[in-house]
Amino acid sequence: MAVIKPRTLSGFMELLPARQAQFEKIVDTLKRTYSLYGFTPLDTPIIEAAEVLLAKGGGETEKQIYRFSKGDNDLALRFDLTVPLAKYVALNYGQLSFPFRRFQIGKVYRGERAQRGRFREFYQADIDIIGDEKLDIMNEAEIPSIIYKAFTSLGLERFLIRVNNRKILTGFYSMLGEAEKSGDIMRTVDKLDKIGREKVRSLLTDELGLDDSKAGEILDFMSISGKNTEVIAALEKYRGRNEVFDIGVDELKAVTSYLAAFGVPEDHFAVDLTIARGLDYYTGTVYETTMLDHPEVGSICSGGRYDDLAGYYTDKKLPGVGISIGLTRLFFVLEDCGLLNDDILTAPADVILFPMTDDISAAVSTATEWRKRGVRVQLYTENKKFKSKMSYADKCGFPYVAFLGEDEIRAGAVSVKNMNTGEQVTLDASAAAELILGGIAGRADGRIIIG
Amino acid sequence: MAVIKPRTLSGFMELLPARQAQFEKIVDTLKRTYSLYGFTPLDTPIIEAAEVLLAKGGGETEKQIYRFSKGDNDLALRFDLTVPLAKYVALNYGQLSFPFRRFQIGKVYRGERAQRGRFREFYQADIDIIGDEKLDIMNEAEIPSIIYKAFTSLGLERFLIRVNNRKILTGFYSMLGEAEKSGDIMRTVDKLDKIGREKVRSLLTDELGLDDSKAGEILDFMSISGKNTEVIAALEKYRGRNEVFDIGVDELKAVTSYLAAFGVPEDHFAVDLTIARGLDYYTGTVYETTMLDHPEVGSICSGGRYDDLAGYYTDKKLPGVGISIGLTRLFFVLEDCGLLNDDILTAPADVILFPMTDDISAAVSTATEWRKRGVRVQLYTENKKFKSKMSYADKCGFPYVAFLGEDEIRAGAVSVKNMNTGEQVTLDASAAAELILGGIAGRADGRIIIG
């Protein structure tokens, strides 16, 4: 009868139940965190008119896009959540209140070459704050606290939020009289981590035609590091030579000045003049987040300030700031590095209840009462041997198993076994619910990510 | 600069923030309900290989499907969540434990003719219980309690869960010696509500060629109604004439016998011999759910028992029972009928905090402390006039507004205004958090659906 071999396309993540439960907990934690900062949930279609989605056009993106016709319609699948946001804000401008803070966690599609850890369908978890004409710098200052709260809520401890300001970079290159080459210079300097100082120097002089002293000045500038106050003190020495630079330094000072009040420890935050984050889009503060023990993973949460969200759809000037987490890739990496906490509760229910009599009324009533109290209960009624039932309970990872036999029914009680300790007690249904909820509560606080 | 008119495709639901917040609350409530019954969350790709998705092939579905190529791949968007479940279970059979209970809430795609209230992209919210070879009837008995819990948790009161058993129907038609015509007869009888008894009688005799007495027997059978016990008593009179029929009656008795223990009031449940739910797929209990005051909407939650989930992918016999809610259409209908409760909290945060001084450290610290306590806080730092700030707070529907000026800072306090009552108090930050959380808790219990 079976005629088609079941398979899932390569580049598409499909998880087994316990892993999926972990993934859901990450999504729930991010939603809760974003909500704490006043972001409203948004959902936009996965399919859009191709001309709308590709308004900006060109580049690598267009090659990767899933585009097709249905009837007369030229359609495409969204490749990020930013273009749909721009469309949404332009379309609903009159009905939104600004600043407009939204989060969206959804699937996006890119037909990349299939390889390990690259996905064609993947979740992005984005937040953006959109202003009407203006957007105060304090919105940029708040972002690191959201990143910090998100990852610490997930359990991650060993990470660093790196921040820079694009105005400092463009201002600095203008000071050197190299404003026109600033894009090329940033692309080159971006390689410092990978190829080192001397090779970058060669590229700056040989390929970009900068003279030795300018290349040296750039490299010296990029080597500014230390505590936030030290970096800013070093930047202050350049003040007065370029207006954009000075604004950039003021913005950076604003972003760093409230960190403690926002609850971000100094050791989780660093000003890093080498990061630039793309070349056209961002215009102010930029963010990257790296795992200290896994630098090879690259940034796990990036974003920045932009001046013009929706220029392709509207003449309104809509500046904004946002960050994005590539959730599917992050999840893959966490699993790969062994950083997912497999001790957290991933079972489909808190307790599995086995009726031991033919009439299961008492078991049904107990399950109903427990559910009213918020206990997640699986009622098991298959006709199997005891051993097979316990093996099922064990495989699914239920933290508690409950039995309801004639003795219990006569006593108005239920027997509950803690599958972790092996301890078994007989209690009335109400006390049993308390026992189970108490046991679960302890595990719910567990970190989803360990590292 | 703006070159492309922003638009959203017709047949695709895209909601404004307050509506979206209501939609999210419905999704969260369904997730919580399904979890209470031991269903594990699942997520499968939206894109599948066309040959996998269309294994069953044919019919209306194939015409409506979004199908396209990317590279060498013949791809299609899922049109329901059942076929992907069948694929998933067949593919991962060895790693799953049975009965396997999963819920999935996700978007599916059907290129239907665009018309009001019809969607091309829509959410389905499905639960299924899959057995390995066997699945006990009690799983079918539990389903009405899940439907009841789901809709009452959403706030809906005026609904009826209608249940039938396909074995009773096929058994009855066999008794009449019309087993081969049973499909046609069911299709005809299905029209009773719409065209009435006499027109159905004509169709049965003229089109299907049944003699008058058989047509009369069928119509008499279909008019059996009353309390569950009365319907079952009427069915018992047919016992002994057909084995399948007798099994069907036993199953129906099992399904109805534990209703009270499962917490389903008798007035929310009815045996209804006229419902059949499709013609090939279901083999036992079938369910429909209708809104008492809006019969024109049809069934808002349907499903049933099937014997062979994944025959196209595997030789394993995998019986199951499941139900599905067409969430996008339901949401559209609820809005259309004015049944969405617009009094529930849909603001992006519980409180908006306005710093009234240049140094906003105190406001940042207060926001940080409140967030630690679980209060959702929007910190507002735009340079606007007071009136404009209050108008923003009002439009977004924040239940509380907080002010932090020099007086408050000196006193170590914060002023909090209840936007509903207009009452304003000045408290320390900790007491203010309690006040806000207390006020919010009252609204969180609110019904999402009124009706």
At A181-191, the pLDDT tens digits run 988 998 899 88
- Beta strand B400-404 pairing with B351-355: parallel
Q: How far apart are CA A244 and CA A175, in angstroms?
A: 10
The beta-carbon contacts of A80-84 under 8 Å, at least 24 apart in sequence, are A80/A108, A80/A124, A80/A324, A81/A44, A81/A106, A81/A108, A81/A124, A81/A126, A81/A324, A82/A126, A82/A128, A82/A309, A82/A322, A82/A324, A83/A53, A83/A55, A83/A56, A84/A44, A84/A45, A84/A48, A84/A53
Mean pLDDT across chain B: 94
* Region B306-328 average pLDDT: 96
Query: Is pLDDT of B451 > 90?
Result: no
The answer to whether A83 and B7 are in contact (CB under 8 A) is: no
- Beta strand A424-427 pairing with A414-418: antiparallel
* B257 to chain A, closest Cα gap in Å: 9
Report pLDDT digits (tens) over B100-150: 999 999 999 999 887 888 999 999 999 999 999 999 999 999 999 999 999
CB under 8 Å to B317, separation ≥6 — which residues?
A: B133, B307, B308
* Region A133-160 average pLDDT: 97
A103 forms beta bridges with: A41, A127
| Nearest CB to A43 within list B20, B49, B347 | B20
How distant, in Å, are the alpha carbons of A15, B355, B365 from that of B359? Answer: 48, 8, 12
* Partner A contacted by B356 (CB < 8 A): no
* Partner A contacted by B105 (CB < 8 A): no
Chain B's closest residue to A122, CA to CA, is: B45
Angle at alpha carbon of residue B297, lines to A42 and B329, rounded to 5°: 20
What pLDDT score was predicted for residue A281?
85
B130 forms beta bridges with: B100, B320
What pLDDT score was predicted for residue A26?
98
* B362 to chain A, closest Cα gap in Å: 8
- Supply B242's token pair: 């057909």
**pLDDT level of residue B444 (50, 70, 90 thresholds):** low
Query: Is pLDDT of B59 > 80?
Result: no
Query: Is pLDDT of B61 > 90?
Result: no
**pLDDT level of residue A58 (50, 70, 90 thresholds):** low
* Partner A contacted by B247 (CB < 8 A): no
Sheet holding B100-109, edge to edge: B40-41, B100-109, B121-130, B320-326, B302-306, B282-291, B159-165, B269-271
**Dihedral-angle region of residue A255 (phi above 0 means left; psi in -120 to 50 means alpha; beta otherwise):** alpha
User: Which residues on chain A are in Cβ contact (under 8 Å) with B347?
Assistant: 40
* Partner B contacted by A361 (CB < 8 A): yes
Please say whether the dihedral angle defined by the alpha carbons of residues A7, A10, A16 and A20, taken in this order, is positive or negative: negative
CB under 8 Å to A220, separation ≥6 — which residues?
A: none
* A74 to chain B, closest Cα gap in Å: 11
* B246 to chain A, closest Cα gap in Å: 21
**pLDDT level of residue A248 (50, 70, 90 thresholds):** very high
* Partner A contacted by B25 (CB < 8 A): no
* Partner B contacted by A157 (CB < 8 A): no
Instruction: Considering only residues A93 and B114, tell me which one the structure prediction assigns the higher pLDDT.
Output: A93
A222 CB burial (10 A radius; 0-12, 13-18, 19+):
middle
A287 forms beta bridges with: A163, A303
What pLDDT score was predicted for residue B83?
96
* B199 to chain A, closest Cα gap in Å: 38
- Beta strand A351-355 pairing with A400-404: parallel
* Partner A contacted by B395 (CB < 8 A): yes
pTM confidence score = 0.96
The tokens 């499905």 sit on which residue? B126
Chain B's closest residue to A39, CA to CA, is: B348
* Region A125-130 average pLDDT: 98
| Nearest CB to A41 within list B24, B70, B258 | B24
How distant, in Å, are the alpha carbons of A53, A121, B227 from that of B71? Answer: 21, 16, 59
| Nearest CB to A40 within list B95, B348, B368 | B348
* Region A294-311 average pLDDT: 94
Report pLDDT digits (tens) over A403-443: 999 999 999 999 999 999 999 999 999 999 999 999 998 77
Determine, for residues A121 and B97 on separate chains, whether the beta-carbon distance falls below 8 Å.
no
A106-133: b (≥16 Cβ within 10 Å) or e: bbbbbbeeeeeeebbbbbbbbbbbbbbe
User: Which residues on chain A are in Cβ contact (under 8 Å) with B12?
Assistant: 45, 47
What pLDDT score was predicted for residue A361?
95
Count residue pairs from A and B with Cβ separation < 8 A.
265
* B44 to chain A, closest Cα gap in Å: 6
* Region A147-170 average pLDDT: 96
* Region A49-78 average pLDDT: 89
The answer to whether B18 and B397 are in contact (CB under 8 A) is: yes
Q: How far apart are CA A309 and CA A307, in angstroms?
A: 7
Query: Is pLDDT of B76 > 80?
Result: yes
How distant, in Å, are the alpha carbons of A119, A451, B282 from that of B109? Answer: 21, 39, 23
Q: How far apart are CA B260 and CA B268, in angstroms?
A: 11
Q: Walk me through the domains of chain A, giving residue ranges and CATH numbers.
A: 17-336 (3.30.930.10), 351-444 (3.40.50.800)
Reported ipTM: the value is 0.96
The answer to whether A161 and A287 are in contact (CB under 8 A) is: yes
Please say whether the dihedral angle defined by the alpha carbons of residues B11, B16, B20 and B22, taken in this order, is positive or negative: negative
Determine, for residues A49 and B9 on separate chains, whether the beta-carbon distance falls below 8 Å.
yes
